[in-house]
Structure 1
Amino acid sequence: MKWLDELPMPFVVIAAVFLGLAPFVPEPHVVEKLRMLAEGTLVKPIDIFDLFLHSAPVVVLILKLMRLKEQG
C-alpha cells in the first residue's frame, strides 16, 4: 500500500475532520446519514453517495493509523 504510506498524515487528519464533519451546522452529514442508516431510511442514491463521500477520509485515516502501527 505504497499510496497510503505516501499520504502526509496532516493532510489525512485535516481531510477527515473537515470532510467528515462538513457541514458543521445544523448537523454533520456523517451523523445524519448514520442515523438514517440505523433507522432504515438511507435509500436514496444521493444519500448513500453522501455517506461514502463524507466517511471516506475517516476510513483512510483509520487505515493509515493501522498501517503505521503495523510498521513500527
Structure 2
Amino acid sequence: MDLFVLSHVWLLRPCPDGGTDYVCFRPGQDRVEVVEGYHLPPQMPLIKRRKWLDSAEVPHCRSQLEKVQGFKHGQPLF
C-alpha cells in the first residue's frame, strides 16, 4: 500500500479574502475520502464537496489539484 494512503494529506490554496480553500485526503480501509472545503477563522470550516476514490486514483487527483488548480501541500488547518 502506498504511504500516501496511510496518512491524512492536506492541500491548501489561499483566497483573496484571507480564507483558505482546502482538500483533505483521509484514508479509509479500501478507499480514500476526499473532502473539499473553505476555512476562514474563527468561523467553522465549510465543506463544499466530499467524495471517495480508490487509492489508485489518488495520485492523479492530487496532481490535478496541484498543477491545474494551484493547491500546495500544507499543515492541517484544524
Q: What range is the shorter-chain TM-score in?
A: under 0.3
Q: TM-score, normalised by structure 1?
A: 0.24
Q: TM-score, normalised by structure 2?
A: 0.23
- Which structure has the larger Rg? 1
More helix by share: 1
More strand by share: 2
